[in-house]
Chain A
């Protein structure tokens, strides 16, 4: 963003805390329509789900520490695999970015709140209901969904009532996402401060605008797919039942028409956060702002025409294989534009490496590795070998953990002073980064070798030649999991306990968006009653 901002004096002018009148205690959180309160609830909810999903992952890694069946039986292992994926995707990563959107978008565009404040409250409070439904499926006969997070038919059409709970939970989370997205698009399009044209918006706002459009387009497709599964299960239809004239492969087509854009829904806001952090710590404007906008849009558009690269082994026609292979490779172009722009932003910048910047640089390095393995998987003949091996597991964890989660960490450290009014503990933050980086790679790097050697994923037992790499991965996973307790402590310390040095309005000298230049730290409960003028 290169907007010149009219400050109207100093940062405190944007705050209107004197107008704050809201209930206290539990009712504040239940009835709130304030975007900052709702953003906070989204973030705490996602952190809770991150730990729940993390515990499931550690149970998986404990079972996989050595060959044989030690801790969980195979049926329960499948449930853990499925629930880990569903919880992390729909409960941890997506709500975290919505939390960032709620906190940041109104402040970054100079709006007093989200466009539809009551709907915002409703969007959030649907999530705990869905999460309870989803997690309670462990306790019904037959257990939780166990068909993988992709809930492929015919597995999903045959399982016990846990699958129904999972489907209802997905429906509710989808409704929440659609309402949240409508709110975000409306807020961005209609409530920007005077003078803030689309091409002056911060990149984080741009990436969320595009993400919200993606969500509105594809969440109904998932809803349609799982509604058809529900109808097959209970109402005698045969959408996906071959015996009744249906086609189980059709489910895969519909699911991945949702599923691939979903991948970008989980990474585009991460790109946005990184695009805010790097210029702030390189003390330079973002290099190639316009090309970043066009690259993000290109990635979003391309995400609709690559879905079948998840299905190279189902028996597609050769022309289809070629089309989806080349279309997928094409995504590397706009993604490369973004990576090179971040590097160019850092080039000859006056850089400092506080924790947000460390996570941002870590993101570029490790996420790009995940991008490259994605390119390898896009090569159809290679994918035929690597499909459903640990190589795929390594690939998407490099993208979703080192990509999405690292960006969430970067964004949290970046905006914590604005949210809480306190500086986080920089030393502990750096420990959190380095331990996360090391343990992440100990966990997931060996999985490339396991996959290349042919170890299939989603299995509780394996051949003995895979033992060493699995042991290393399990040790790394426990290290990574424990490291996140450090993150919890750092956040609790400056948010709940209010400890730490008091943060100024603009703790990062290179940060130049409205929340830093116009609002004090912590950001007041009400902000931008009078919209700032952006020149």
Chain B
């Protein structure tokens, strides 16, 4: 990595990010599917 300040790895970083990404993905897919099946 170019210029990152030292070690930024912390326990739980990946878990936090995956949970948040899953929430975002669920919202996206959920909203489209809701109206797909609502028709």
Give A residues with C-beta under 8 Å from B. Answer: 16, 19-20, 22-23, 27-28, 31-35, 37, 106, 111-118, 178, 181-183, 185-186, 189-191, 216-221, 223-225, 227-228, 238-239, 245-246, 250, 254, 525-529
Contacts and interface: CB of A to CB of B under 8 A. Distances in A.
A183 B35 CA distance: 30
A525 B5 contact: yes
B32 A182 contact: no
Contacts of B11: 190
A227 B29 CA distance: 10
A217 B20 CA distance: 9
Given A182-B21, A183-B17, 10 more contacts: A113-B4, A115-B13, A116-B17, A182-B17, A190-B16, A220-B24, A224-B29, A227-B32, A238-B39, A239-B36
A151 to B, nearest CB: 16
Nearest to B8: A113
Contacts of A223: 28
B13 A526 contact: no
Interface residues of B, number: 29
20 contacts: A34-B4, A35-B5, A112-B6, A113-B6, A113-B8, A117-B4, A181-B20, A182-B20, A182-B21, A185-B16, A190-B10, A220-B31, A224-B28, A224-B29, A224-B31, A225-B31, A227-B28, A239-B35, A254-B31, A529-B5
Contacts of A182: 16-17, 20-21, 24
A23 B24 contact: no
A483 to B, nearest CB: 35
Given A221-B31, A254-B31, A189 B16 contact: yes
B5 A528 contact: yes
A191 B16 contact: no
Contact of A112 (B8, B20, B35): B8
Nearest to B1: A33
A37 B8 contact: no
Given A186-B20, A217-B23, A224 B3 contact: no
A22 B3 contact: yes
Residue from B10, B21, B31 having most chain A Cβ neighbours under 10 A: B31
B6 A526 contact: yes
Contacts of B4: 33-34, 113, 117
Contacts, number: 117
Contacts of B26: 220
Nearest to B31: A224
Nearest to B12: A190
A17 to B, nearest CB: 11
A216 to B, nearest CB: 5
B39 A217 contact: no
Contacts of A228: 32, 35
A22 to B, nearest CB: 4
Contacts of B17: 115-116, 182-183, 186
A238 B35 CA distance: 10
B15 to A, nearest CB: 9
B20 to A, nearest CB: 5
Contacts of B6: 16, 19, 112-113, 526, 529
B20 A216 contact: yes
A117 B8 contact: yes
Contacts of B13: 115-116, 186, 190-191
A216 B8 contact: no
B3 A33 contact: yes
Residue from A31, A33, A118 having most chain B Cβ neighbours under 10 A: A33
Given A32-B2, A115-B17, A189-B16, A224 B8 contact: no
A112 B5 contact: yes
Contacts of B12: 189-190
A221 B34 CA distance: 12
B13 to A, nearest CB: 5
Contacts of B39: 238-239, 245-246
A526 B27 CA distance: 37
B31 A37 contact: no
B35 A32 contact: no
Nearest to A19: B6
Nearest to A191: B10
A386 to B, nearest CB: 30
A122 B27 CA distance: 22
A250 B35 contact: yes
A34 B16 contact: no
A49 B9 CA distance: 34
B10 A525 contact: no
Contact of A216 (B24, B29, B31, B35): B24
Contacts of B20: 181-182, 185-186, 216
Contacts of A525: 3, 5
Nearest to A240: B35
Nearest to A231: B32
A114 B13 CA distance: 11
A22 B5 contact: no
Contacts of A218: 27
Contacts of A31: 2-3
